[in-house]
């Protein structure tokens, strides 16, 4: 695949934060960039802001002064669409409104040359719908950058029904030449990332609705056990609850209200109250002056037991080894069981004895600093104290959740893998591009499909089946790909 030559002119329509970021990327890659915005003075202001940013990068040694000045000089603020006539690639980054975007592209179609590529930075609208009615719908493609565009590596190259493959390949190669990580996706609601990431927020909101734990505790578990960069509640507060809720509703509506994407009433209430997160001063957390930041619930120090029984093979064996290295004999009937999508009480009942403590998934049991656990209703205080004491002796903080099915990290990762597998099943993207997108678009520690392979597909399959049985909710139905691969032993990430 051959990228757009560096001497080709690029145009960016929309001089907001996203448009300015895209213009900066293209200019740093060597292109002359024409930046246009309908708001008087917006393009000039954006060029000045880009220049300031590049000079700051030069002062920090991230780029040379000469390259910063050259990139700034390649950006030209223009004041009419007709000034984009020479562009070989036009990227629009305007308001997320289908009719407004379609009107813009119809106008651009008569301005630029027939060979010019017209790309939309839309994060949610159908590329097929944007291109409908165009004289040359084949040259319309999605080029979805993530905010802030100069920093985040992912670009989703989105093909509508009419998009020419050669056009998608050109944009893919150009994104690579600009130092980005591109992935191909079909034009479907949410594309790759905004679709496959829904369970990260959705399962956290369900756990909160079930009073499993506080937002601070659930965030801490996802960070310190799951190795996610941010917990779901602090991330939603950063994104903006109104934005996150709107994306969820958009994907839900786009998939004809499939229960897998159902929005949360809790989030709807916060949005209705104007509690939108950091930008309003309050969301799941209060950001007012002098407010003490809430901390995760952590079990008090408990004496270490001389011995403990721990169930779990494969990836879970690392926890047993870690506790053994702490000087605790790991033998006898199991007391600690890995989460398999059931509650601890369900595990105890299935075994026919009262004492059962379920422990959550960790990205790396050898190094995690926190684990969530749940105890069966019938579990004795002494048995629970032994389980907590063994984990603490191994240097792991213990956060007890209410006895919910699947705990926190396990159910979230299983659902992320399930959604990602469905995206592959439906031909939206390849397994490689799904995992690449989730790592580079939302900074997951490992792609969901690869993570499911590490856990073991039969276990992930079991988690999903148990969650569906527990809730009686089609939200947890298994992807056909997971059902098939768990039986055949073929990895998901292949």
**What would the DSSP string read from start to end of 50-116?**
HHHHHHHHHHTTSS-HHHHHHHHHTEEEESSGGGGTT-SEEEE---S-HHHHHHHHHHHHTTS-TT-
Active site residue 156: yes
Token output for 33: 């960039």
Q: Is-contact 141 127, C-beta < 8 A?
A: yes
Cα 437 to chain centroid, rounded: 9
Which candidate in 126, 194, 297, 420 is catalytic? 194
| Of the candidates 374, 385, 409, the residue with the CA atom closest to the CA atom of residue 300 | 385
Task: Single out the catalytic residue among 9, 121, 126, 156.
Answer: 156
Whole-angstrom distance, CA of residue 138 vs CA of residue 484: 36
Q: Which two three-digit tokens encode residue 344? A: 């601890």
Catalytic residue among 31, 34, 144, 459: 144
Distance CA 151, CA 316 (A): 35
The b-or-e profile of 92-114 (16+ CB within 10 A means b, else e) is bbbeeeeeebbebbeebbebbee
Using a 10 angstrom Cβ sphere, with 0-12 exposed, 13-18 middle and 19 or more buried, the burial of residue 292 is: exposed
Q: Helix, strand, or coil here: 286?
A: strand
The answer to whether the CB of 140 falls within 8 A of the CB of 164 is no
Contact call for residues 183 and 154 (beta carbons, < 8 A): yes
Residue matched to tokens 């308001």: 95
| Residue among 121, 123, 297, 420 flagged as catalytic | 123
Annotated catalytic, 31? Answer: no
CA distance 174 to 168: 10
Largest CA distance in the chain: 79
Runs of H (alpha helix) within 359-476:
381-393, 409-425, 431-441, 448-455, 457-471
Reference 217, options 231, 206, 227; nearest CA is: 231
**Residues with a known catalytic role:** 123, 144, 156, 194
């Amino acid at each position: 695949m051959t990228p757009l030559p560096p001497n080709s002119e690029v145009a960016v329509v929309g001089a907001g934060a996203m448009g300015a970021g895209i213009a900066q990327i293209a200019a740093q890659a060597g292109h002359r960039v024409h930046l246009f915005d309908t708001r008087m003075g917006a393009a000039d202001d954006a060029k000045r802001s880009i220049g300031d940013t590049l000079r700051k990068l030069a002062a920090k040694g991230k780029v040379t002064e000469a390259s910063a000045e050259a990139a700034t000089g390649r950006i030209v603020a223009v004041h009419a669409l007709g000034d984009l006539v020479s562009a070989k690639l036009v990227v629009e980054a305007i308001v997320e409104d289908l009719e407004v975007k379609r009107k813009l592209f119809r106008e651009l179609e008569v301005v630029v040359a027939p060979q010019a590529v017209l790309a939309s930075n839309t994060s949610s609208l159908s590329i097929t719908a944007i291109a409908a009615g165009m004289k040359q719908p084949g040259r319309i493609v999605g080029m979805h950058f993530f905010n802030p565009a100069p920093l985040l590596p992912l670009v989703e190259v989105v093909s509508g029904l009419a998009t020419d493959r050669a056009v998608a390949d050109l944009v893919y190669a150009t994104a690579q030449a600009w130092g980005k990580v591109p992935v191909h996706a079909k034009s479907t609601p949410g594309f790759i990332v905004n679709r496959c990431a829904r369970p990260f927020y959705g399962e956290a909101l369900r756990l909160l609705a079930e009073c499993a734990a506080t937002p601070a505790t659930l965030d801490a578990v996802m960070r310190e056990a799951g190795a996610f960069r941010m917990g779901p509640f602090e991330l939603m507060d950063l994104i903006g609850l109104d934005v996150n809720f709107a994306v969820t509703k958009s994907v839900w509506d786009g998939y004809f209200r499939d229960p897998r994407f159902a929005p949360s009433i809790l989030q709807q209430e916060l949005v209705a109250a104007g509690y939108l997160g950091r930008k309003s001063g309050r969301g799941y957390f209060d950001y007012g002056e002098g407010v003490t930041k809430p901390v995760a619930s952590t079990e008090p120090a408990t004496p270490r037991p001389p011995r403990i029984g721990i169930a779990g093979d494969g990836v879970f064996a690392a926890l047993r080894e870690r506790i053994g290295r702490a000087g605790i004999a790991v033998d006898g009937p199991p007391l600690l069981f890995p989460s398999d999508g059931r509650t601890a009480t369900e595990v105890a009942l299935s075994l026919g004895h009262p004492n059962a403590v379920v422990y959550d998934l960790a990205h790396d049991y050898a190094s995690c600093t926190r684990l969530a656990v749940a105890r069966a209703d019938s579990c004795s205080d002494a048995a629970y104290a032994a389980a907590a004491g063994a984990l603490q002796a191994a240097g792991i903080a213990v956060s007890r959740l209410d006895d919910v099915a699947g705990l926190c990290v396990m159910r979230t990762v299983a659902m992320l893998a399930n959604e990602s597998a469905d995206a592959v099943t439906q031909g939206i993207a390849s397994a490689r591009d799904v995992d690449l997108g989730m790592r580079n678009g939302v900074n997951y520690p490992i792609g969901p499909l690869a993570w499911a392979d590490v856990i073991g597909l039969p276990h992930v399959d079991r988690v999903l089946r148990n969650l569906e049985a527990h809730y009686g909710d089609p939200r947890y139905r298994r992807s056909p790909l997971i059902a098939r691969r768990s039986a055949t032993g073929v990895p998901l990430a292949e």
